[in-house]
């Protein structure tokens, strides 16, 4: 009897592996892919050298891990098993907190460790960077004010900072005392920088509003919270920027299963069943016509929190034109450009009437992504001065490719223009202006 059972189990096991192999080779069954980032592994090419240096074995193992047959079925089964029995996340980017609240690993690390989790443990150097960015913001703000352009900072909220009571208690160290989200407001207040502290607003609203500020299974603010927050931001711009803007009204809220990205963290867990209970509130907004309101252009530089605004607020009915420069890199809502390296920086800045630097707490350590130093440089110095400095800098770099050498020179100059143009390091507002400003504004 034991031999017969062992034989049957052996045949079943062999059959499973044969099915996995056949599916791997033929993709006979068309299965829905898994959520998350897919890494396309290198081909495992067997050569004498690749075998000796171990690259063949490494690439083969990686190929098997990403491409084995029925991966789309077997991984969710395994993920559901460790969730049900061990209450653990299968994805290292997702942390499981109290009452099944999900947090991004970066958010948890940022809350407990501040800049140390990614950018180093030198508090003095971190403060110096934040001081420098605040000073640049102060200078750019005053220069743009000369031309009727209102630039401000939106200090966005973080799920971890608003709801720390739900965080997983897995950190080995005590919470760091220094955090950019708590340091920047003091800097901005002392300099007179335009900013709105949405993080503080969310802390004050916690437990007082009918809708979830953050979804239980998502990383970003909820759709409805983003709608209310952006309404507050518009009113701030009206007050601080001295201009009248269009507003929108809120429809009747309704409960619904989570819409993307309100369950983006749950999605990359790739479970077989949704996490319950997890309903969220949604509402439709409608812009109120007002002939006395302005219809300006709007430029946002920031992180992924803006997607919930652009996806739920009819921005095209509020602004004549709007753009989103994602981490000051990829350009969205502008068919002419794909990357900020392609744009006429000075022209795009001057053609915006409102500019918003919009960052959540964990991204404040890379605040502006070099937008401010580059803007400051182009506003105060001639294009040919900048170009000649770039070429001179590139010639000093020992990089074979002309393209890579120029890119390295741009990275160096645009991240720290004060090194090459000492007048920008002075405390006061620079007095020089790029002569092309009047040409752009005249057109």
8 Å CB contact between 218 and 279: no
Mean pLDDT lowest among 61-65, 107-111, 298-302:
61-65
**Helix or strand (DSSP H, E) at 301:** strand 297-302
User: What integer pLDDT is reported at residue 119 of this predicted model?
Assistant: 83
User: What integer pLDDT is reported at residue 342 of this predicted model?
Assistant: 94
Q: Per-residue pLDDT tens for 246-283? A: 999 999 999 887 777 888 999 988 888 888 877 788 99
Q: Are strands 354-359 and 150-155 parallel, antiparallel or unpaired?
A: parallel
C-alpha 142/C-alpha 91 separation (Å) is: 45
> Cα dihedral sign for 306, 307, 310, 311?
negative
Q: Per-residue pLDDT tens for 81-103? A: 888 888 888 888 999 999 999 99
**Helix or strand (DSSP H, E) at 249:** strand 247-250
C-alpha 317/C-alpha 314 separation (Å) is: 6
Mean pLDDT lowest among 16-20, 188-192, 317-321, 350-354:
16-20
Mean pLDDT, to the nearest integer, of 412-428?
95
Structure-block tokens of residue 87:
């209450």
CA separation (Å) from 307 to 225, 335, 438? 13, 18, 34
How many other CB atoms are there within 10 angstroms of residue 88's CB atom? 11
Mean pLDDT of the chain: 89
User: What integer pLDDT is reported at residue 273 of this predicted model?
Assistant: 87
User: What integer pLDDT is reported at residue 443 of this predicted model?
Assistant: 73
CA separation (Å) from 91 to 256, 268, 270? 26, 7, 9
Q: Which residue has the tokens 């750019």?
A: 140
User: What integer pLDDT is reported at residue 260 of this predicted model?
Assistant: 78
Percent of the chain clearing pLDDT 70 (strictly above) = 90
Of 262, 318, 257, 256, give the one whose Cα is nearest residue 285. 318
Mean pLDDT, to the nearest integer, of 237-246?
96
User: What integer pLDDT is reported at residue 37 of this predicted model?
Assistant: 60
Q: Per-residue pLDDT tens for 206-222? A: 999 989 999 999 999 99
Q: Which residue has the tokens 């996490």?
A: 275
User: What integer pLDDT is reported at residue 4 of this predicted model?
Assistant: 80
pTM (2 decimals)? 0.89
C-alpha 388/C-alpha 432 separation (Å) is: 18
Q: Rounded to an integer, what is the distance from CA 429 to the centroid of its chain?
A: 31
Would the pLDDT of 67 be above 80? Answer: no
pLDDT band at 36 (very low <50, low <70, confident <90, very high): low
Would the pLDDT of 12 be above 90? Answer: no
CA separation (Å) from 208 to 34, 154, 419? 37, 22, 49
User: What integer pLDDT is reported at residue 316 of this predicted model?
Assistant: 96
Q: Per-residue pLDDT tens for 168-210? A: 876 566 788 899 999 999 999 999 999 999 999 999 999 999 8
Of 25, 43, 37, 108, give the one whose Cα is nearest residue 264. 37
Mean pLDDT, to the nearest integer, of 225-252?
97
User: What integer pLDDT is reported at residue 101 of this predicted model?
Assistant: 94
Q: Per-residue pLDDT tens for 373-416? A: 999 999 999 999 999 999 999 999 888 888 899 999 999 999 99
Q: Per-residue pLDDT tens for 140-167? A: 999 999 999 999 999 999 999 999 999 9
User: What integer pLDDT is reported at residue 81 of this predicted model?
Assistant: 85
Mean pLDDT, to the nearest integer, of 296-323?
97
Cβ neighbourhood burial of 33 (10 Å; 0-12, 13-18, 19+)? exposed
DSSP string, 217-255: T-SSPPHHHHHHHHHHHHHHHHHHHT----EEEE---EE
């Amino acid at each position: 009897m034991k031999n017969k059972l062992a034989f049957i189990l052996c045949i079943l096991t062999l059959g499973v592996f044969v099915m996995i192999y056949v599916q791997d080779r033929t993709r006979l069954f068309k299965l829905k892919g898994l959520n998350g980032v897919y890494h396309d592994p290198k081909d495992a090419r067997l050569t004498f050298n690749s075998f000796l240096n171990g690259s063949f074995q490494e690439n083969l193992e990686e190929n098997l891990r990403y491409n084995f047959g029925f991966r789309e079925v077997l991984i969710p089964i395994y993920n559901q098993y460790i969730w049900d029995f061990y209450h653990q996340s299968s994805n290292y980017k997702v942390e499981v907190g109290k009452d099944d609240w999900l947090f991004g690993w970066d958010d948890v690390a940022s809350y407990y460790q501040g800049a140390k989790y990614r950018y180093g443990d030198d508090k003095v150097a971190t403060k110096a960077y934040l001081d420098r960015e605040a000073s640049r913001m102060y200078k750019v703000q005053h220069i743009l004010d000369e031309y009727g352009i209102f630039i401000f900072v939106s200090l966005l909220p973080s799920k971890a900072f608003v709801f720390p009571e739900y965080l997983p208690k897995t950190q080995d160290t005590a919470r760091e005392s220094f955090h950019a989200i708590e340091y920047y407001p003091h800097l901005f207040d002392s300099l007179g920088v335009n900013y709105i502290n949405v993080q503080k607003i969310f802390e004050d609203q916690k437990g007082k509003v009918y809708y979830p500020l953050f979804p239980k299974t998502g990383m970003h603010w909820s759709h409805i919270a983003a709608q209310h927050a952006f309404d507050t931001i518009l009113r701030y711009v009206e007050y601080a920027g001295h201009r009248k803007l269009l507003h929108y009204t809120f429809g009747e809220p309704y409960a619904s299963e989570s819409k993307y990205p309100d369950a983006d963290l749950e999605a990359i867990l790739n479970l077989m069943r949704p996490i319950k209970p997890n309903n969220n509130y949604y509402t439709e907004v409608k812009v109120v016509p007002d002939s006395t309101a302005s219809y300006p252009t709007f430029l946002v530089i920031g992180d992924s929190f803006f997607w919930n605004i652009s996806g739920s607020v009819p921005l095209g009915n509020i602004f004549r034109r709007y753009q989103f420069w994602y981490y000051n890199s990829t350009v969205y809502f502008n068919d002419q450009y794909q990357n900020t390296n392609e744009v006429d920086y000075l022209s795009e800045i001057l053609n915006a009437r409102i500019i918003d630097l919009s960052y959540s707490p964990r991204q404040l350590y890379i605040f502006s992504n070099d937008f401010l130093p580059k803007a400051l440089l182009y506003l105060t110095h001639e294009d040919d001065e900048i170009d000649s400095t770039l070429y001179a800098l590139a010639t000093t770099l020992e990089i074979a490719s002309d393209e890579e050498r120029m890119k390295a020179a741009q990275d160096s100059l645009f991240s720290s223009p004060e090194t090459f143009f000492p007048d920008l390091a002075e405390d006061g507002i620079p007095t020089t202006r790029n002569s092309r400003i009047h040409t752009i504004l005249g057109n």
